[in-house]
Amino acid sequence: MHWLSRLLYSARTLSLKQLPPQNVLKGLARQGVDFADEVLISVQTDINVEGEYAVQWLLATKRSHFVFDSETASEPLCSFTFPETLEFRIIPVVGSGLLQARVEGVWLDLIRFSNRIKYKFDRVLKRFREIQRSEALTPEPVDQQDPHRCPGCGLMLDFIGEVCPKCLNHGAAITRLVTMLRPYWRAAGWMALLLLFGIGLDMAWPLLTRYLVDHVLVASFSAHQQPFAVLTRFSARELLVLIVIGLAAVQIMRGIVNVITTRMASRIGNALTYDIRGKLVRKLEQLDMAYYGKQETGSLVGRVAYDTDAVQSFITQITSGFLLQFLLVIFSFVMMFSLEPGLAFWALLPAPLVIAGAFIYWRYVHPRYQRNWDRSSKQAGILHGILSGIRVVKAFAQEETEYQRFQKASMALRDSRQVLDRTSAFFYPLMAVVFQVGGWIVWYVGGDRVLSTQVTLGTLMAFFGYLSMFYGPLGNLTNLTTWLTQFSTQMHRIFEVLDAPTVLPDAETPVEIGKGRGEIEFKNVSFSYVRGIPVLKNLNFTIRAGERIGIVGRSGSGKTSLINLICRFYDVESGQILLDGTDVRNLSKNDLRSRLAVVLQESFLFCHGALKDNISYGRPSASPEQILTASRLASAHDFIMQHTLAYDSP
């Protein structure tokens, strides 16, 4: 199975000139071809034209192309020269694709490949066409790595630039969000100082409790037994009043600190959430139509409206969540160790079980949370599609079909939630028992030492105060992993949008064409939405300035695609689209689209403005006279005037 491991590796590390085995090299030499000097393309496939698992090789020089089978490589299975091959194409079949060549008017199957390596043969097809046109083969980065696959694990991604869910780095989300806090460093610094001050107050009250029990409440109270000389002049009742006042002061100050840090966290979190939502919407407006073709609108809305709440939760976790709990664990253990080192080590006994519980959670529980989220997102997407297209649903009487489709998604969500709840119902009570084990041990060992007068009762009570601070955050460790999983997933969904590449970037130095005439020319334009399935192929025509033309064709023939390409919603795969002799790719998209007037197949009215605002949407500076003229040309004026508020109607 050595060839299979090589193939799996090559699926993620693309190469258009692989070294074939020796028998293929010998067979190539019999054809009078030197591999090192003459071969331009050399790729292997995983199945033969009959669909059976086999290793075959496709090799090409400037003059010819050959197909060899690794088992019988003495002679090529087929070979043709490029002059006698009129053209090449890839056609999709079940689970695989076929690279075909048209020879003497007949399409012949050259080689077959599985969908795993489809991208590689898409690049081969492009290179073959370049060889046919006698163009130089210039290496490109996309020849070395399939952009549709994760460079780390080779997993197929839904779209180029998507964050691989298998290689998701949970720590990276926190690191990147911290860098976005830079404009708020000063407020964050004060918040950190208040956090440490609050922890200091938390460490104080068990010590006051210890003093109260050991030096005030004991029956054998004596002034000379006081550890602080300044307190010897107070009676036991007076010390009781002072200690209670001290405990009250600590709690009141802790409450004030909590109020201040909560308000500061709210202000920083809301400001940062506002910034990120603005960046998301700005980025979504910049992304190309190809991106929206692979994303559900409901999912994108959820990222802006709901996933950004993760930012607020992150700030909250800093002030009263995981960071506070982490610091409490450290400080409380130091205090326990300073009070009674022996008991402190006994308190650590459940720690390995806690770590094991966290590992079990990450391994078995948190994947169920991801599955539940995925089912919920799909259900929301289906519901959004039904409601958005309710007119179509009703027109074709498909209410029952859509209901059943929604119920199927809802049932999947219900089942995933039940599995999650069953797992959680077992896991969390089990972890609660684990934490109680440490308390039971400390009660027995500490109680025995109190009875044998090795430890005072006040020390034991203070120890239990710190023990609750130590075990409390550890008990929330599994909740922390739940939050971290949800937070990292939400933040990566946000960064996935922010980092999504703009496939149609503006030219670095856009061309200015002035007023222009309005002549449009298509030169050898080829285009496809799905790789290997062309919608337009070597299309050539010219629309002269001032001409009025109609484009007629069957559904799917490419009429809308022409408009999409002229508006540069997509880019051509090959060829050029010229506006007044200038390639549209050399124009800024805003400049290009400001020169075009488009009436889309489906009308859309924005609900956040009046009718006049919708009419002047493409030109907000339009005067009322221009708006009236446009509505009359569209035969909409009489209809609009029937409304009570006419052009001001919402």
Q: List the chain domain ranges.
A: 2-143, 170-498, 520-594, 611-648
CB 162 within 8 A of CB 295: no
The span from the CA of 221 to the CA of 237, in Å, is: 11
How far is residue 119's CA from residue 470's CA, in Å, rounded to a whole number? 54
Structure tokens at 117: 């390596």
- In this prediction, residues 376-387 reach a mean pLDDT of 85
* Res. 6 pLDDT band, cuts 50 70 90: very low
Helix axis angle, 457-475 to 185-212, nearest 10° = 150
The pLDDT tens digits for 172-204 are 667 777 777 788 888 888 888 888 888 888 888
Q: Which residues contact 547 (CB under 8 A, 6 or more apart)?
A: none
* Lowest pLDDT segment from 443-457, 501-515, 584-598: 501-515
What is the average pLDDT across 30-55?
86
Q: Which CATH number is correct for 2-143, 1.10.3720.10, 3.40.190.10, 3.40.640.10, 2.30.29.30?
A: 2.30.29.30
Cα-flanking dihedrals φ and ψ of residue 137, to 5°? -85, 105
The 10s digit of each residue's pLDDT in 465-490 is 888 888 777 666 656 666 776 777 77
Task: Return d(Cα 322, Cα 325) in angstroms, integer.
Answer: 5
Among the ranges given (153-157, 329-333, 464-468), the one the predictor scored with the smallest mean pLDDT = 153-157
Whether 2 has a pLDDT exceeding 50, the answer reads no
CATH of domain 520-594: 3.40.50.300
Q: Name the DSSP letter for residue 362.
A: I
Does residue 564 have a pLDDT over 70? yes
Split at pLDDT 50, 70, 90, the class of 131 is confident
Question: pTM for the complete prediction?
Answer: 0.60
244 pLDDT higher than 70: yes
pLDDT for the residue numbered 252: 92
The whole-number average pLDDT for the span 450-457 is 83
Burial class (CB in 10 A: 0-12, 13-18, 19+), 429: exposed
Closest CA to 45 of 82, 75, 4, 83: 4
Mean pLDDT of the chain: 79
441-446 mean pLDDT? 82
Q: What architecture is domain 170-498?
A: Up-down Bundle (1.20)
Residue 203: other Cβ atoms inside 10 A: 17
